[in-house]
Amino acid sequence: MTGLKTMLNPKVTAVVGVSTSNPFNPGNVIFRKLAFENGLPTYPVNPKGGTVEGVPVHKSITAAPDDIELAVISVPARFVPSVLTECGEKKIRSVIVVSGGFSEVGDAGASLQSEIATIANKYNITLVGPNCIGVFVPDVLDTFFLPSERVARPRKGNVAIISQSGGWLIERLEEFAARDVGISAAISIGNAAQTNVTDFVKHFGQDDRVNVILAYVEGFGEGLGRDFVEACKKIVPTKPVVVLKGGESEAGHRATQSHTSSLAGDYAISNAAFNQYGVIHATDEDEVMAYAKVFSFKPKFMLGSRVGTLSVSGGHGVIASDEASYYGLTMPPFSKEQQAAMREVMTPAYQGIASFRNPCDLTGSASDIDYEQVLEKMLEFDTIDAALLLLLPYAPGISLQIGARVANVAKRHKKTVVAYVPNLNKYEVIIRGFELNGIAVGDTIEEAVQMLNGIRKRSKYLQDIGKI
């Protein structure tokens, strides 16, 4: 939809529904963000006029200047149709309706929602909402009606997030900020009266600044599920689409009816459809984070399920083996010849105590150079398809430079590599050493294995359709 580009990068905005008496009114919060935090020329609108934050208030959209590219509507539901009509007459092509009281409240609200969709279509308006928290684009736009000090904002990056739930989206932004995963945009579509998740998937699918698209959906209207997977099918050869779908249990299905009035579906059916069309189906929020993070790095393909693992702790190798088995990944034992080749490049004093069966336990005596040289040798073996590095920086021979050093080894090979490093401030240099060099880092062993699982899922689909 042509209005999406303008919506995500408007030059002039307006907020309909500010208050001259209540600075905590949602419209006022949105106005302050757009005008003062984003630095956008923004017109406040209220029939009573007056001033807000020293800025004159226009009594209607009609009375406001004519250069508005995006209007945010935050008024009681019954007033939305007339305000939206004014926007249409003024040729405003992008509108976000944060107001609630539509299909999520029953038949009367559904009728009102249908009315605003009709108005939007009549005037060629691109409409997001209603019953949403808005749109956030780092360094550009923030229409969330939540005060900035209450919600973390991730840095600019390459993950696009589309969510039917505002609350779920806010939690993801908190997590992404905490994990330093950047996003290109975060969209709360709410009831999706007109613009829906498929429209945004198509839009971000054509955006070269987006590496991975993440969507939380609770269901699709009649026929819209097929539209969604067909759109994904065209996009996934060039970039992954990750979906977490709510409402797949009976209890979850009932809950979605009172949330966004969506039609939820059975897990087995949606999972089969997603797999058929190359959509990566996350089963929980942990997988959401793992997949979003690893694909933000554009990892190398994984052409099989065989993983070679390096650790300095035998116990961590055991845990990784269990996790890998759960996700259908294998850690095949290395042959005697392969073990001998890896043992030969270890520091001589420690060759006799290290184990190279797979997982390989280099022991707490291992140093950076041991890790580098064993990994170099292991990545040459055609019996593995990827490498998992379990980095425990407690070992005295491991330095803060190991992330960058090992990542440079991985760059010389075609196989994908992911790492686990405890997510502690004192190891930040190690983590950044990996990630600045294109290697994703999980903060748990399970997350690192999930990252490999996501890469394998995507690689297998692309193999099946002949793209790799």
pLDDT at 392: 84
pLDDT at 260: 40
Per run of 10 residues, the mean pLDDT along the chain (length 468 residues) is 90 98 96 97 97 97 98 98 98 97 94 98 98 96 92 95 96 95 97 96 97 94 89 97 77 42 60 93 96 97 98 94 97 98 96 96 94 98 98 88 96 97 93 96 97 98 96
pTM of the shown model:
0.93
* Nearest CA-CA partner of 452 in 466, 461, 440: 440
Q: Residue 205 gets which letter from DSSP? A: H
pLDDT at 269: 80
- What is the SS3 assignment for 366? coil
DSSP string, 4-59: HHHHTS-SSEEEE---SS-TTSHHHHHHHIIIIIS---EEEE-TT--EETTEEPBS
Give the burial string for 192-221 (b: 16+ CB within 10 Å, else e): bbbbbbbbbbbbbbebeebbbbbbbbbbbe
pLDDT at 258: 44
How far is the C-alpha of 136 from the C-alpha of 392, rounded, in Å? 37
The upper half-sphere exposure of residue 199, i.e. CA atoms within 13 Å in the direction of its Cβ, equals: 18
pLDDT at 247: 57
- What is the SS3 assignment for 310? strand
Give me the sign of the Cα torsion angle 284, 286, 292, 295.
negative
Residue with tokens 């698209």: 213
Q: Which domains does the chain have, with CATH numbers?
A: 1-130 (3.40.50.720), 151-296 (3.40.50.261), 300-464 (3.40.50.261)
DSSP E strand stretches across 316-411: 360-361, 386-390
How far is the C-alpha of 387 from the C-alpha of 455, rounded, in Å? 12
pLDDT at 270: 82
